[in-house]
Chains A and B, each alone.
Chain A
């Protein structure tokens, strides 16, 4: 799952540094991800994992790190 998350971040996160250099808990917004980019990450995650984030999860915190995204996806996929 982590590699699929990182692939999406590489493609849609518009991060100014290599995604491989970002730790699991590093703050993606501090690393340079804009709110518009995080929206594209959100949409790409929905496509990739065939899920829909409920309204309550449509917040910055859900996408603030690789670990946070993994936790959110875990809840939705029930893995």
Chain B
């Protein structure tokens, strides 16, 4: 018995995703991008009605943010840094020779001050150092993230987009905003015709250190995910998450509330690529045939 085409095969055959030589790096068709734009419109409207300050950061950020945010200790296997060439003519010659002979030409590069952005809200926190206004502040950020996890599963891309709603302020409001956005996010995703469920998150923290962090995350119920059956009902896929950071960002980045306390923060992240894939999986590869309610919500 041969297995039928996978979801990835179907997306590629329909020209919706264009595979490249690297697993998890795709080109996207206009069909796909129209869906992303529709989701962005819904999220932007939600953010605007919530009085957020809106920023867009590029997909790269200062490398120091990886250290200060703790991402380097929690997920060293996921990061990517940018390497550049700063050699002389002789080095250039050796680099080209190595490339010609199929050798490791990257050994002629040095790590620059820049890394790829692992989560779309991370470049925001270093810019918030100082005292917040009374009651804290809400932000929305959207853009590209990179995680080093090459896979043939289209829901596990190496380069993907997130749209995050962020609150920075006092501890109580941070938790309240997380809870409120979690409910609101689930309602938005349901309104698109997706079957969703809220579960406690289980991040893949690295190694022995990660085992302790994962246990803390679960026992303190800091982070929740909204999951939907993408591949099977048993193994649901997270398409959004709501995370209470406590003072994890406030402390290293020197963010202080109007009352003089170290700021707490939370964020709600919409996984734009995963939501797009979930919609294509649920409603089919031809958005023209999708339910009117979904189409109206995204595009009217």
Contacts and interface: CB of A to CB of B under 8 A. Distances in A.
Interface stretch (B115-123, B189-197, B205-213): B205-213
Contacts of A39: 73, 209, 212-213
Chain A interface size band reads: 10 to 19
Contacts of B248: 34, 36
Interface in A59-73: 59-60
Nearest to A62: B212
A58 B70 contact: no
Interface residues of B, number: 15
Given A34-B246, A36-B248, A60 B212 contact: yes
A28 interface: no
A35 B211 contact: no
B70 A36 contact: yes
B211 A55 contact: yes
Contacts of A38: 212, 216
Interface string B209-241: 101110111011000000000000000000000
Given A36-B70, A39-B73, A59 B212 contact: yes
Contacts of B209: 39, 42-43
Nearest to B211: A58
Interface in B34-85: 70, 73
Contacts of A53: 208
Interface in A25-67: 34-36, 38-39, 42-43, 53, 55, 58-60
A29 to B, nearest CB: 9
Contacts of A60: 212, 215-216, 219
B261 to A, nearest CB: 11
A42 B212 contact: yes
Contacts of B215: 58-60
A38 B219 CA distance: 15
A66 to B, nearest CB: 18
Most buried by B among A39, A43, A59: A39
A55 B211 CA distance: 8
A60 B209 CA distance: 12
A27 to B, nearest CB: 14
Ranked 9 nearest A-B pairs via Cβ: A35-B216, A58-B211, A58-B212, A39-B209, A59-B215, A39-B212, A60-B216, A36-B70, A35-B213
Interface of A: 34-36, 38-39, 42-43, 53, 55, 58-60
11 contacts: A34-B247, A35-B213, A35-B216, A36-B70, A36-B73, A39-B209, A39-B213, A42-B212, A58-B211, A58-B212, A60-B215
Given A34-B248, A35-B217, A60-B212, 14 more contacts: A34-B247, A35-B212, A35-B216, A36-B213, A38-B212, A38-B216, A39-B212, A39-B213, A42-B212, A53-B208, A58-B211, A59-B215, A60-B215, A60-B216
